[in-house]
Chain A
Amino acid sequence: MLDMNPEDIKGEYTEHNLTLYEDICRKVFTTELESPFPKGYLIVSRTDTNGIITHANDSFVEMSGYEKSELIGQPHNILRHPDMPAAAFKDLWDTLNRREKWRGYVKNLRKDGGFYWVYAIVIPNIRNGEVEGFTSVRREPSRKKIDECIKLYAEMSQTK
Chain B
Amino acid sequence: MPYNLAISPDFKPDQISGWYIFNTWLQKKLDEAIHLDIHQSFAEQHQAIDNEKVDIVYANPFDISRLVREKSFTPVARPVCKPDEAIIACREGAIREITELPQALTVAQANAPEVNTIGMIMLEPANIDKSNIKIIDCENFVVVARHILKGEADVGFFLAESFNELSNLVKKQLYPLINSQINMIHHAFMLSPKFAPHKDKLKELLINMKIDDKGIQILNDIGIEGFESMEEEDAEFMIDLMDTLLS
Chain A: residues with CB nearer than 8 A to chain B?
37-42, 44, 46, 57, 101, 103, 119, 121-123, 125, 127, 135, 137, 139-145
Contact = CB atoms under 8 A, between A and B. Distances in A.
B207 to A, nearest CB: 24
A127 B98 CA distance: 38
A40 B184 contact: no
A140 B125 contact: yes
B247 A103 contact: yes
B240 interface: yes
B184 A57 contact: yes
6 contacts: A39-B98, A125-B240, A137-B245, A141-B124, A142-B125, A143-B125
Interface residues of B, number: 23
Contacts of B216: none
A135 B244 contact: yes
A39 B124 CA distance: 11
Nearest to B85: A40
Given A41-B182, A44-B241, A125 B236 contact: yes
A135 B179 contact: no
A101 B184 contact: no
B167 interface: no
Interface in B119-134: 121-122, 124-127
B240 A123 contact: yes
Contacts of B244: 101, 121-123, 135, 137
Contacts of B98: 39
Contacts, number: 57
A21 to B, nearest CB: 26
A38 B178 CA distance: 11
Contact of B241 (A37, A127, A135): A135
B25 interface: no
A119 B237 contact: no
A40 B121 CA distance: 9
Contacts of B180: 40-41
B182 A42 contact: yes
Given A44-B184, A101-B247, A137-B245, A144 B237 contact: no
A142 B124 contact: yes
B172 to A, nearest CB: 22
Nearest to B232: A127
B181 interface: yes
B243 interface: yes
Contacts of B247: 101, 103, 121
Contacts of B178: 39-40
A142 B181 contact: no
Contacts of B245: 137
A40 B241 contact: no
Given A101-B244, A123-B240, A141 B184 contact: no
Contacts of B122: 40, 140
Contacts of A125: 236, 240
Contacts of A137: 241, 244-245
B125 A141 contact: yes
Given A44-B184, A144-B127, A127 B240 contact: no
Contact of A101 (B124, B127, B182, B243): B243
Contacts of A38: 181
A38 B182 CA distance: 11
A19 B126 CA distance: 35
A135 B233 CA distance: 13
Contacts of A101: 243-244, 247
A137 B238 CA distance: 12
Given A40-B181, A57-B184, A101-B244, A127 B236 contact: yes
B81 to A, nearest CB: 16
A120 to B, nearest CB: 9
B240 A40 contact: no
